Amino acid sequence: MTLAELQNLIRTTYGAKDRDRGIDGTFMWFLEEVGELAGALRGKLPAEHTAAEFADVLAWLATLANVAGVDLTAAVEAKYGKGCPGCGRMPCVCGEKQ
């Protein structure tokens, strides 16, 4: 599944609820999911929950982008599509002596 497909899936499934909740409410849900992922990564949840928490964070990020009117594919391509935003290289050499 591509980012565009994920964003469209989330929009189709939850779009009306997400618009009603708005940016502030959606951002709070996103932060809650990031917290749950942090707990999973620190071993505070059973290991089998870690992948599901990654999925939840990605889904809520797509939700937040939808509510904010941001095309995630375009945003990622614009920022990272030509390499590191800092040094412009792939792989990144920021901080390395050249």
pTM, entire model: 0.89
CATH architecture of 3-80: Orthogonal Bundle (1.10)
Span 38-90, pLDDT tens digits: 999 998 777 788 999 999 999 999 999 999 999 999 999 999 999 999 999 99
Reported residue count of the chain is: 98
Cα–Cα dist 25/35, whole Å: 16
**53-89: burial string, b at 16+ Cβ within 10 Å, e else:** beebbbbbbbbbbbbeeeebbeeeeeeeeeeeeeeee
Predicted confidence at residue 49, as pLDDT, reads: 87
Indicate the domain borders of the chain.
Answer: 3-80
Q: What is the pLDDT of residues 14-45, one digit of tens each?
A: 999 999 999 999 999 999 999 999 999 998 77
